[in-house]
Structure 1
Amino acid sequence: MKQFFYSLILLLVCHLAQSQDVIVTNEGDTIDCKITRITNEFIHFSVFDESGFLLIRSRLPKTQIQHYHQGEEQGTMDVVSSSPEIKEEDRFVITEFNPASFRLAVNTGYTYQFGGYEGWPDSYQQQLKSLWNLGADFHYFLSDNLGVGLKYNYIFTNAEEDFDPTIYPISTIRDERIRFSYAAISLMYRNFLYDDQVIQYFIAGGIVNYKTDGLVDGSKFYEEGDTFGLAIGVTYDFLFTENFGMGAGVEVNVAKLTEINTSRGPALVDFSLTRVDLTLGIRLYK
């Protein structure tokens, strides 16, 4: 399962060059664009400005196309070569692309925590550092590219180990649950790629709440604390319709606990909560 989430990150590096393709309609209109998909009935395409920002996103029936050029490939439709002259006002008009103002993402995925459990056996450390996450974020875009929003992540795992009392100061099973959450304000920048594809970069800052509890030698224990966390990340969305899609993302969150409350009282610590989240989820646009 973890390998599956690793493979999703490959989607984030598929930011291909926006090379120019050409479509010529039966009416003689030439469209400089990026052809994004060709089906049995339609040719889908996107038009970008000089800076690479997506201006429009549309499709044409093949019956309205005389020929097209896509990279090294050329195609010719079965049309009458002597099409009548069409008045300019009657020709095909491309609808302007209007990006959605609201974006809601709901995610799940795998989390790996760096450090924080030195001194325990490697097998137990891996249980503590390998977690699962659930999360959501909501953004409102002030412009075509820039948005602000809120995000929330919930991270959790369980760990259990039978320790050797000659090495560690406990003689039976240590069983614990780790739960921590991250609530933050986020700033997001999005860049439209091809037809129905968008990549978002974000930075966020907020509160990390950490808690672990369980049993050691049959006695209950707990540790908990709050700190500030800073996150940066990138997500890749693919829209199936104008309002619905799916996406994958990667996020790095940096945080450190310096003081915690425990079952034995307050304690000063140097405990890293730095982690990386690999996520997959649904996207809703409006």
Structure 2
Amino acid sequence: MIKKLVVFFSLLFIGSIQSQDLITTKESDTILCKIQRVKKEHIYFMFKKDGVYQSSIIEKSKVIDYTIQQNPSFKISSDSLPGYEKSPKHLFAINFGISYDPVDAYPNLDDYQKELSTGVRFEGNYTYYFKNSIGIGLAISYFSTNAQENNVINTDVNGNQVVADLSNDVSTFFIGPMYAVRYLSPNKRNMFIWNTAIGYLSFKDVQVFNSEIETTGKGFGGFFSLGYNYGINDKLSIGLQVGVTSLLTDKFTIDDGNDKIKIELPDDERFFGSAHMDFSIGLRYSIIE
């Protein structure tokens, strides 16, 4: 009976040892470890000390024998590795920049078109990364541009020439859920981020030329951006990004103060300001759990 117990516990002990790699030195020391690679003159390995794995190296001339078990059940968790940095779970971002609309809405008024094509943009978003590289969140953005030109000559619906001041005040507002993918640097401070969001977007253009006409639209909107965050410290970083915001509808309402007319544009047409390219810079704040 005693002999059977001795054999049993011996096998149990051997099995526990064999779950790791072994290095036996000429000084009769046995090292339980994870051998990473074996070179001509050195053996590189990791061993556990105070619950944390440490990297080490030993000369082959000091080793009698070594055994690599190739046991797939023996794995080292990433948070036990030396130099391991936790990834930020929560990311808050605030951006300010400019947006550009390439549509040539006023081909005969070059200066007016240039002024109206570029506007200011504000954005805020929050992302929760449930995986190291994948997260979900919420994005909010606002775009605004305006222009004014004095003594513009135009022809009214009756064929008469009209001279008046022209102005446009265009704005869009977007809010929607966001899907984020990021690529982290080894120190977890710097990262490339791709954000995609689909949600609600509203568009408004108030045009004044002899009278005021308001054009509005609302519906699904899309927001896409690619950015790079440079970490100042573990929590604060500066970000640069480029992207596109677009209203995904062709139905608009025109209000001249007397009547409201609902129109549907052809697929190849849209109102100025209902889509724009975005360029922005901002601050990011990370929370590490």
In the other structure, the counterpart of 2:246 is 254
Aligned match of 1:206: 199
With over 3 angstroms needed to count, the CA separation of the structure-2 counterparts of 1:256 and 1:140, relative to structure 1, is: closer
After alignment, is 153-162 or 258-267 more displaced? 258-267
Q: Work out the CA distance in 2 between the residues paired with 1:210 and 1:282.
A: 27
Q: CA deviation at 1:194?
A: 5.0
Show the counterpart of 1:117: 105
Deviation at residue 172 of structure 1 after TM alignment: 1.0
TM-score by length of 1: 0.62
Q: Match for 2:285: what amino acid?
A: L
Residue deviations 1:139-167, cap 9 Å, x none?
A: 00111110001101100012101354256
Change (3 A) 1:166 1:248: closer
Cα shift readout 1:201-247 (whole Å, capped 9, x = no counterpart): 12111122111225322x33322111322232211111111111111
Inter-CA distance 100–248: structure 2 relative to 1 (3 Å threshold) = same
Taking the aligned partners of 1:141 and 1:120, their CA distance within structure 2 comes to: 49
1:259/1:267 contact within 8 Å kept = yes
1:229 and 1:166, CA in 2 relative to 1: closer, same or farther beyond 3 A?
Answer: closer
TM-score under structure 2 length normalisation: 0.61
Q: How does 1:107-186 map to 2 (within 5 A)?
A: 107-115=95-103, 117=105, 121-165=109-153, 170-186=162-178
**Equivalent residues, number:** 194
Identity of aligned residues (%): 16
User: Matched residues in 2 for 1:248 and 1:208: separation?
Assistant: 23
Unaligned runs of 5+ in 1: 1-31, 33-92
Give runs of aligned pairs for residues 1-286 of structure 1, distance below 5 A: 94-115=82-103, 117=105, 121-165=109-153, 170-195=162-187, 196-217=189-210, 219-264=211-256, 265-270=260-265, 271-272=270-271, 273-286=274-287
Using the alignment, how far apart are the partners of 2:286 and 2:144 within structure 1? 28
Q: Is the CA contact (8 Å cut-off) linking 2:168 and 2:206 kept in structure 1? A: yes
Q: SS at the partner of 1:100?
A: coil
Unaligned segments of structure 2, at least 5 residues: 1-35, 37-80
SS of the residue corresponding to residue 172 of structure 1 reads: strand
With a CA cutoff of 8 Å and minimum separation of 6, indicate the structure with the bigger relative contact order.
Answer: 1
* Matched AA of 2:181: Y
Letter of the structure 1 residue corresponding to residue 239 of structure 2: G
Task: Return closer, same or farther for 1:263/1:167 CA change in 2, 3 Å cut-off.
Answer: closer
Cα deviation, 1:3-25, whole Å, max 9, x if unaligned, reads xxxxxxxxxxxxxxxxxxxxxxx
Larger displacement relative to structure 2 (163-172 or 141-150): 163-172
CA RMSD of aligned residues (A): 2.3
Max radius of gyration: which structure? 2
The 1:127/1:205 distance shift into structure 2, 3 A limit, reads same
Write the distance in 2 (CA, Å) between the matches of 1:167 and 1:262: 19
- Answer with 172-181 or 269-278: which moved more: 269-278
